[in-house]
Structure 1
Amino acid sequence: MADAGTDSLRRFHTTEDAKMSLVVLPHAGGAASYYFKLSEAMSKFVQVYVVQYPGRHDRRREPFATDIRTLAADIQADIARRISGPVALFGHSMGAVVSYEIASGWPARSNASLTGLFASSRVAPSVPFDIPDLRTTDQAIAEIQGLGGTDMRVLADREFFASAVEVMRQDYGLLVRYQQELPRLHGHQIDVPIRALAPTSDRRAPIEQVMDWKLHTTAGFDLRTFDGGHFYINDRIDEVVDYVRESVSAEWSATGAQS
């Protein structure tokens, strides 16, 4: 069962004696439950928390976020309240830039020490990003089908589909507004290691543009490729878990977060 808190962090699995926490940040249109299996697999060696953005599922009565930097600040405050010790961020797609903004605003004094950022299926923050128009139903269907990763049976449930599309539209709006901040992001760096996870067939995240994440850190960069498209994690979960475990063990052992 997930923690029933009113903040953004959901804990589906409890890891006894965990030396480190991992906070997972979902993609645009995504909810915490999508990452249940990833949490289950990662919880073998870290305590996993998955973020539930406002405006969906158990937070559906809350207003949607209006900009990514405010969303990141709210999540960072929740992390500070609930987590102590070493913590890493794992952001998929939109979640990667939310993670980057969390890292950018990380307080100098905190009970939680930020040890690294995993950026999955996302070009670097300073790279212009093609954001599809979802104003019509046909455009929304085409986007869902093109990205993959979604059970297309949702199309048969009109109410559920309408709700899912509205969440996507709101999140894509966040990305449109974030695009306006590109001048701020050029040359902006964080003092945290960045590990980029790049699927080889992701039309939204060409590997050469994923590589530009290295321009946004002063603390080391690594790139790992995986076969698959935008939602490669579904089919490559064991490989993803192995990479995270390897990175935690090799790069961040000084924090006491060895697996």
Structure 2
Amino acid sequence: MDDDYRAVNRAMWDERAPAHAASEGYGLRRFVADPDHLSQVVRFDRDRLGDIRGLRGVHLQCHIGTDTLSLARLGARMSGLDFSPAALAHARRLAADCGADIAYAQADLYDAVDVLGGGGFDLVYTGIGALCWLPDIRRWAAVVADLLRPGGRLHLREGHPVLWALPDPRPDGLITLEHPYFERPEGTVWDEDGTYVDTDVRFVNTRSVEWNHGIGEVVTALLAAGLRLTALVEHDSVPWEALPGRMERVGYDEWRLADRPWRLPHTYTLQAVKG
């Protein structure tokens, strides 16, 4: 199972990385043109991040590196880790084009400590759409704890597990839960020929395997790994049109449910400290 899901998901991400790098959604040209430009995800949580100047940070599952670069622009000494060599090629090119000193490493998330070393990071950062590619949230939490020095912190913004459990928008407008909310051993297999940015590309590697993780499961896993929860905020917005035709654009280039958005938790930000 392990090798199969990794191979399927890596092929999917390797193929999509060039389309993401070319898209207006990621806006790589804006990073090169404007040395103060930050990704929308980092911009959204900038106040919650606080002053990160001088911190040694690592961005897990960093993809093409726009959040990683943004954190470096806020003064952190950043590294990035991802399992997709194609995504990392774009991340390295972006950092070079922007004159940023970011060390990138290719590895599976669960191998991060072996590759990066343990106990040396002040900040572990994970952005939206990362945890769903991992079958075991407790193993993830243990990796986070092992990477952090005592007093170091995790910053996570993620799609809410309720959002991930929704089906495609229904014609009757009802919001229903169709997919797992809690982590399941087998994972959910998807077969889709598109991606979440605007592109004309239709992809060959259309299958992926994903897992949802409930809020309680994430928090419990971090507590069991020796971290102390310091913040947990649920948001009524998400940085892409997650429910096409049902959402409206709001600040920070975010989207939320147009009809009574208070019914649906869209994303959440969590922070936790080791020790």
Give TM-score scaled by structure 2 length: 0.41
Give TM-score scaled by structure 1 length: 0.43
Structure (1/2) with the larger strand percentage: 2
Structure (1/2) with the larger helix percentage: 1
